[in-house]
Amino acid sequence: MPITRIAIREGKSETYKQALLSQVYEAMRETVKIKDGDRFMAITEHGESAFAYGDFLGIQRSADLVQIQVFWTSGKSPDAKLAMYRAIVDRLGRDPGVRPEDVLISVVDTGAENWSFGNGEAQLFKGK
């Protein structure tokens, strides 16, 4: 049930953007075992004046920075998350060709009561 938001600089091709979505999804399927079809993803594109980044922690980033935010319910192990980070970087390096230094990933864990997949219900919340 992850919701994934990807922010990039504007101007990338449709093929590039589709590769981002596909590779991130497949990396999550491989490493954190999300279910088939559990794909809720969006890309936002930003002009130069609305996309800021720095060389934080000694990592030299470029204008090709890909910022990935993953929101899901708590429960994934640290090892699974680390495997996912590596898989995303590896896959994006192959297609569409993003440098490892240009992949920033953050994960937000939330309680099951914070999710409604429709019908005004909290489908994952067991404490009703």
- Is residue 97 packed enough to be buried (19+ CB in 10 Å), middle (13-18) or exposed (0-12)? exposed
Per-residue DSSP letter, 108: E
Cβ atoms of residues 43 and 6 within 8 Å: yes
| Confidence at residue 127, expressed as pLDDT on a 0 to 100 scale | 74
Domains of the chain as residue ranges with CATH: 3-112 (3.30.429.10)
| Residues 99-118: tens digit of each pLDDT | 999 999 999 999 989 988 89
Asked whether 27 and 88 are in contact (CB, 8 A), the reply is yes
Is a pLDDT exceeding 90 seen at residue 21? yes
pTM: 0.92
Give yes or no for a contact between 115 and 122, defined as CB atoms under 8 angstroms apart: yes
The chain-wide mean pLDDT, for the chain, equals 95
**Can you read off the two tokens belonging to residue 22?**
């596909």
**pLDDT category of residue 128 using cuts at 50, 70 and 90:** low
d(CA 30, CA 53): 29
Tokens encoding 128: 């009703």
